[in-house]
Amino acid sequence: MEKTKPMDAAKRKRLEAAGFRETTVTELLGLTPEDEAWIEMKLDLTRQLRETRHHAGATQAALAKRMGSAQSRVAKMEAGSPDTSFDLLIKGLLAAGASRRDIAKAIAGNA
């Protein structure tokens, strides 16, 4: 996860006075630990797809052709579109040249 810098104290006071409070995405959306892990795994696979394709020197169009799909679908996959399934991400990774071990590392967060 990306770290953010702390909010300015004066700004925090103004927002708290207006009724706002600091929270996390997990609290805001009511995510369970399982939900959070699922989202992180999907984002890790998305990042790995982009990196694997770049490392292979392939364009989105070339990867799409190998997958029997469209370039726009690959673009959506790499952008983390919510309608992209784990199955499609794994199929894309394999088509881009990732090994099972590469995919396992990505899922484990060790990419």
| Number of domains the chain is built from | 1
What CATH number is given to the structural domain containing 88?
1.10.260.40
Query: Residue 91: inside a domain, yes or no?
Result: yes
Q: How far is CA 31 from CA 22, 25, 27, 83, in A?
A: 16, 8, 7, 19
Query: Residue 41: inside a domain, yes or no?
Result: yes
CB-based contact 89:42 (threshold 8 Å) = yes
- What's the angle, vertex CA 102, arms to CA 48 and CA 32, rounded to 5? 65
Q: pLDDT tens digits, the chain, 111 residues: what are they?
A: 455 677 788 888 888 889 888 878 788 888 899 998 999 999 999 999 999 999 999 999 999 999 999 999 999 999 999 999 999 999 999 999 999 999 999 999 865
Query: Residue 23: inside a domain, yes or no?
Result: no
Confirm whether pTM is higher than 0.95.
no
